[in-house]
Amino acid sequence: MTNRSPWRATVLTLFPEMFPGPLGVSLAGRALASGLWEIEARDIRASAIDRHRSVDDTPAGGGPGMVLRADVLAAAIDAAEIAPERPRLLMSPRGRPLTQARVTELAQGPGPLIVCGRFEGIDQRVIDARGLEEVSIGDYVLSGGEIAALALIDACVRLLPGVMGKEASGTEESFSDGLLEYPQYTRPQQFEGVPIPEILTSGDHAKVAAWRRAQSEALTKARRPDLWAQIPPKPPNRPRRQKTPKNKTDG
C-alpha cells in the first residue's frame, strides 16, 4: 500500500499574508499542523516585469478600474510549476457555482492551484491560455478572490480523512444585475499570438457596449440558465407598416 501525499492548495494572490488566516485555527488548523494538508501562498507581484512591480493596467475599451495583466499572471502560474493533474481554479463571481459535489471531487484529488483576482478582473487571454476553471462561491462581488479561496479550501479540507468526516451544506444567492461579466482584456496588445478583440480598440463606444452586452448575455445563457430565465424577454421588433399607395386615376 502506498501513502498518499498530503492534499495541497497553491494560492496565487497579491496578498499572501492573508493565508492561512482562519484556516490556521480550529479543525483546519490542527489538520494543517499535523500534516494532513498543506498550503502555499505565492505572491503574483513577484512575477512583475518592470521595476515598479506593476501587475495591472487600464481596461481595453475603457471603463473604470484596472485589469490584471495576462503576461504577469501567466508568469506567476508557470512559476508555480504545479503537476498537470492538479486543477487550475480562478475565483470569479461569473464562474460556475461551487457545489458540494465539486468540493468532494477537489477534496479527493491532489489539491488545486487557486488564482485570486483583484481590481476589475483578469485579462481573458490568460484564463484561456492557462486553462483556468472559473469558480464562484455565490452570486455577489467581493473585493478579491482571497476570501472565496479561503471558503473553497475550508470546504475541501473538512472532507479530508482524519479532519472532520462530515459533509458541509451550501447556499445560493443571485446576481443583482442578472448577467455575468463580459471578458476583460488589457495590454499587451498581443499575448501568445492572441490579440485583443479588434472592436475593443476601435474607439467606437457604442459598438464596445453592444459587444460587451452580447458577451454577457451569451455567458449567462450558457453558464447560468437559471439566471437567464429570470431576465425579462426583449419586446419583439414590430415591422414597420407599409403605406398603401393611393389609387391613381387616369386624367
* Cβ neighbours for 185, distance < 8 A, ≥ 6 positions apart: 59, 60, 61, 67, 123, 124, 125, 196, 197, 200
- The C-alpha cell of 85 is what? 493533474
Contact 130, 124 (CB under 8 A): no
> Any idea which residue has 508568469 for its cell?
75
Question: In the prediction, which pLDDT does 247 show?
Answer: 58
Strand 190-191 vs strand 194-195: parallel, antiparallel, or unpaired? Answer: antiparallel
Exposed / middle / buried, residue 17 (Cβ in 10 Å: 0-12, 13-18, 19+): exposed
Question: In the prediction, which pLDDT does 176 show?
Answer: 35
Q: How far is CA 135 from CA 62, 139, 148, in A?
A: 26, 11, 9
Question: In the prediction, which pLDDT does 100 show?
Answer: 86
pTM for this prediction: 0.78
Question: In the prediction, which pLDDT does 98 show?
Answer: 94
Question: In the prediction, which pLDDT does 25 show?
Answer: 97
Q: What does each of the 251 residues of the chain score in pLDDT, given as a tens digit?
A: 346 799 999 999 999 999 999 999 999 999 999 999 999 999 999 999 888 999 999 999 999 999 999 999 999 999 999 999 999 999 999 999 998 899 999 999 999 999 999 988 999 999 999 999 999 999 889 999 999 999 999 999 999 999 975 443 332 222 336 788 899 999 999 999 999 999 999 999 999 999 999 999 999 999 999 889 988 887 777 666 666 656 555 54
Contact 185, 55 (CB under 8 A): no
C-alpha torsion 148→150→152→158, nearest 10 = -150
- Residue 32 φ then ψ, to 5°: -65, -45
Question: In the prediction, which pLDDT does 235 show?
Answer: 75
CA atoms within 13 A on the CB side of 150: 16
- Residue 40 φ then ψ, to 5°: -130, 120
